[in-house]
Structure 1
């Protein structure tokens, strides 16, 4: 975006003349903003600040009735401190202009009239702009989030933006001077955080993730009356099924309640996925798959949540959280799993304020030079430890078992051993999280002796296994005692199919207890918890869905 040259003069004729001369010389590289009073210009500058635009130079008349040029510049430079400043004066104001060079840090004063501009205006501005460009750094042009590091609401917004791969700039109101200026421009108080400022200059105060999604243009309403395939969940299995469904010409819609990628999307580095010897992040994998799905015409609703599922004749009806309904000939459930919560004193109160579930990559930069604790002994915990080790002073893994060998891949165990600032403590569990407004310490307990000790802690990340995200299904399909969905051969008990199965044929592979409703990925009973297997299951399930549709 082009930087601005701002001219302020209360004489309309002079103001237009200055604007005309500036446009004639500088319009190709700069945008020109003209105002006829200091207060009017300050209102415009606040909008420029909210849009993260840049002002390169102020050209301001000194003698204005509402606000002198020096008074205006004193306020304007708090918003754009790096902008060059020229004071436009009459002969009688020369002494004031000279004082302004010292008092208001004015770079130059220019006598009226300034004609011819080729001799008396342009050379001065050219020199100042060249000096400005030498130290200019282009500002961030995306979404900005203003808030406190220890605010659960702020963390929720940051996580939503990061998971959905929306670039944003985080500004801590306790550390960043720019955050305080922006907060004033949005007319929000410190008790109204977080504030999200968008590139167009608009802002949302204490928004929900749904409000942010609507603002950035995410689609949450279906476009078709009937789909061939409704995929619920955009993890690896759901994304794979959507890609293949779209490529085979099925009218496909993909529903995701948080962000594409599922739990795999939260992995900082997946190093054992076939075809990527250097590894790739879960977000990279999700982004690539999402682009493929969109290329094949898959409709994506995000963030949107399925809350119930029922059969109505040949249609399978999915009810969404906003009360709307989708009709499909088939449904594929790929809702995956959610991390289990840790039910010990203090955890619930401090979640989002030092205690986080999942890899919490949005908090990595904030942990620079600090000690980070991670609960968990599976691959996701190991990957998180390696990632945080590049930022934190020390990463301590708290593992309840005697070793990592039964729960973690060998390559990852070796990586942990080779990383000097990662400490693995086995046979230990967290008994309590302590702190008032944020996490301050942890009480650790030996898993066998029950001996306790307290350690100082600012950040705790919990990755302790998962439960299937299937409660929303109720009794619509059969599940095992843990909530995982039964399908295919797993529906057979004592050589018999469920009494509710209405067809002569047996269920297809990955077909649930209801014909036309399929399951794949981590929510399925007996699944293998690997990214590659999720992709494979989604692919196979889509082929079974094609077979089902051919027989309808």
Structure 2
């Protein structure tokens, strides 16, 4: 595409619910930039998002988005937060009144705001154009070329199709979804020589067709790193949740040759959260995906290497080296290892649930599946923060959301701020002392049998969507016989290893284990996988950073 043609397809978008203000902003923008850019205006956040999606489908570029802060139904910050997902490289400007400057400053954290302008902006030659000139220069200097999209053809009730979509979304790989029964989906299947019996079909950006690909193959084909660049490192971090990402940032920034190994996607359970509102420094909350993306970019900036879709199956002590073995038989070694495996959602043990997983029954997939839940009745099993966050997120579009809680109330395991939000949400209801007795459906979830724990009474309800958050267990079986764990599989460390001040059996050093050090010297643990951990994002990040300090101490004394 020529530079002139590209400029003609580049947009400056402005959104303001006041028609007069909207026209005035567009007029000033066209007077200055109309010869080089197309100015598009909208009068609500919803219509602006629709315009952005249409521009995306046509392959147009958006250089700058200007949004008024005080808009009904969806304010400017809420709009920009969703606009990021459509055009992440567009520069973002918030139009505010003087009284709203604190909100604008907060938006710098929430939506990576580039600038905020006070209204009125007259004269534009002094208050508007210099700001826009700088932002457009910065946008043109960046690599804003269209990102080729991966295409996924699947069925709505195909479990593997759902898994592939979640894998791509969580790894920030742009993709477009096509149902196998729509014209474009059928066309792609025919071009790949497939009849739709084997799904999903993934067509990568370079045109390669993959049928029912495993995560490792998919990761390699869409450009994710899967192979370590070296055989030996200072630090291997196993797990890419908040603890692992925190360790990768601090390890790499302090000069350690660091590699992070993740079996699925960075972020862990926190990365699947629709909004984390109690994390320090984000008073308006931050989505798990945004927090994860920032942490991943931060670690990469400092030189940390990140491998995806690599399952770790063993840990060995070879002299001073600590060797991590992968499922394919390969291995990587280091001076020190940090176990930051986090936890995996515990499976719901009820008839029919396993067979319908991915076909209406989901574990931690609320973000990926939310668009399909619009206007439907949704059931969420669980009473902790993950369940509460999913309920609030899904309630935005669902007809109703019902929380099924085994205990007598939410207060035992859910943060107070979430309980308050749920109580004030008109389409969320909470059924305590209620469990799922069975799931029913032919090919996809159709009904649930619910049982009252106290009376034993059962009830059959219609349901197409059920999301399960019933606690978690650490994926640490591969450590059996190497490091000490408690009866639930959580890794013991530091003071929890000693008895009467004595180090654990087999400990050969003349010092006790450091605070986050396991029963194997030079192997540390942080985050949810550690026994008696706090199970909070902030504490996991802090432990990841602390572990790096202890790794340095270990290396200095080795």
- Place the TM-score, normalised by the shorter chain, in its bin: 0.7 to 0.9
Q: 1-side partners of 2:58 and 2:424: how far apart? A: 45
Which of residues 176, 192, 211 is equivalent to 1:186?
A: 192
Deviation at 1:260, TM superposition (A): 0.4
Deviations 1:473-517 (Å, cap 9, x if unpaired)? 111001111111111111012332212111111111100011100
Q: 1:141 to 1:300 in 2, by over 3 A?
A: closer
Report if aligned partners of 2:381, 2:469 keep a CA contact under 8 Å in 1: yes
Residue aligning to 1:126: none
Q: 1-side partners of 2:226 and 2:409: how far apart? A: 45
Q: 2-side partners of 1:488 and 1:434: how far apart? A: 47
Which of residues 209, 223, 234 is equivalent to 1:228?
A: 234
Residue aligning to 1:348: 354
Residue aligning to 2:433: 427
Mapping of residues 198-347 of structure 1, within 5 Å: 198-347=204-353
Which of residues 158, 169, 175 is equivalent to 1:168?
A: 175
- Structure 1: any 5+ residue segments left out of the alignment? 4-51, 55-137
Deviations 1:29-60 (Å, cap 9, x if unpaired)? xxxxxxxxxxxxxxxxxxxxxxx999xxxxxx
SS of residue matched to 2:268: coil
Q: 2-side partners of 1:172 and 1:373: how far apart? A: 24
Mapping of residues 149-164 of structure 1, within 5 Å: 149-164=156-171
Deviations 1:269-295 (Å, cap 9, x if unpaired)? 001100011111111111111111111
Residue aligning to 1:61: none
Deviations 1:114-153 (Å, cap 9, x if unpaired)? xxxxxxxxxxxxxxxxxxxxxxxx9994112111110011
Report if aligned partners of 1:359, 1:381 keep a CA contact under 8 Å in 2: no
Residue aligning to 1:491: 497
Q: 1-side partners of 2:506 and 2:425: how far apart? A: 54
Deviation at 1:185, TM superposition (A): 2.1
Residue aligning to 2:545: 539
Residue aligning to 1:391: 397
Residue aligning to 2:516: 510
Report if aligned partners of 2:235, 2:258 keep a CA contact under 8 Å in 1: yes
SS of residue matched to 1:192: coil
Q: 1-side partners of 2:184 and 2:232: how far apart? A: 49
Deviation at 1:540, TM superposition (A): 0.6
Q: 2-side partners of 1:213 and 1:430: how far apart? A: 35
Residue aligning to 2:113: none
**Does residue 549 of the first structure (1) align with residue 547 of the second (2)?**
no
**Does residue 528 of the first structure (1) align with residue 530 of the second (2)?**
no
SS of residue matched to 2:153: strand
Q: 2-side partners of 1:53 and 1:395: how far apart? A: 35
SS of residue matched to 1:263: helix
Residue aligning to 1:476: 482
SS of residue matched to 2:391: helix
Which of residues 388, 393, 411 is equivalent to 2:417?
A: 411
Residue aligning to 1:83: none
Q: 2-side partners of 1:499 and 1:397: how far apart? A: 46
Q: 1-side partners of 2:208 and 2:248: how far apart? A: 35
Report if aligned partners of 2:152, 2:200 keep a CA contact under 8 Å in 1: yes
Q: 1-side partners of 2:321 and 2:307: how far apart? A: 20
Tell me the number of residue pairs that the alignment of Structure 1 and Structure 2 aligns.
Answer: 420
Q: 2-side partners of 1:469 and 1:311: how far apart? A: 20
Report if aligned partners of 1:195, 1:204 keep a CA contact under 8 Å in 2: yes
Report if aligned partners of 2:527, 2:544 keep a CA contact under 8 Å in 1: yes
Q: 2-side partners of 1:331 and 1:152: how far apart? A: 34
Q: 1:357 to 1:182 in 2, by over 3 A?
A: same
Q: 1-side partners of 2:156 and 2:266: how far apart? A: 25
Deviation at 1:209, TM superposition (A): 1.9
SS of residue matched to 1:317: strand
Deviation at 1:321, TM superposition (A): 1.3
Report if aligned partners of 1:521, 1:534 keep a CA contact under 8 Å in 2: yes
SS of residue matched to 2:488: coil
Q: 2-side partners of 1:141 and 1:328: how far apart? A: 36
Which of residues 151, 154, 169 is equivalent to 1:147?
A: 154
Q: 1-side partners of 2:486 and 2:292: how far apart? A: 29
Deviation at 1:211, TM superposition (A): 1.6
Residue aligning to 2:110: none
- Structure 2: any 5+ residue segments left out of the alignment? 6-56, 60-144
SS of residue matched to 1:522: helix
Q: 2-side partners of 1:227 and 1:207: how far apart? A: 30
Moved >4 Å (runs of 4+): 138-141
Q: TM-score, normalised by structure 1?
A: 0.74
Which of residues 368, 375, 383 is equivalent to 1:377?
A: 383
Which of residues 454, 463, 467 is equivalent to 1:448?
A: 454
Report if aligned partners of 2:378, 2:464 keep a CA contact under 8 Å in 1: yes
SS of residue matched to 1:230: strand
Q: TM-score, normalised by structure 2?
A: 0.73
Mapping of residues 24-173 of structure 1, within 5 Å: 141-173=148-180
Report if aligned partners of 1:359, 1:380 keep a CA contact under 8 Å in 2: no
Question: More displaced, 163-172 or 450-459?
Answer: 163-172
SS of residue matched to 2:197: helix
Please report the RMSD computed on the Cα atoms of aligned residues, expressed in angstroms.
1.7
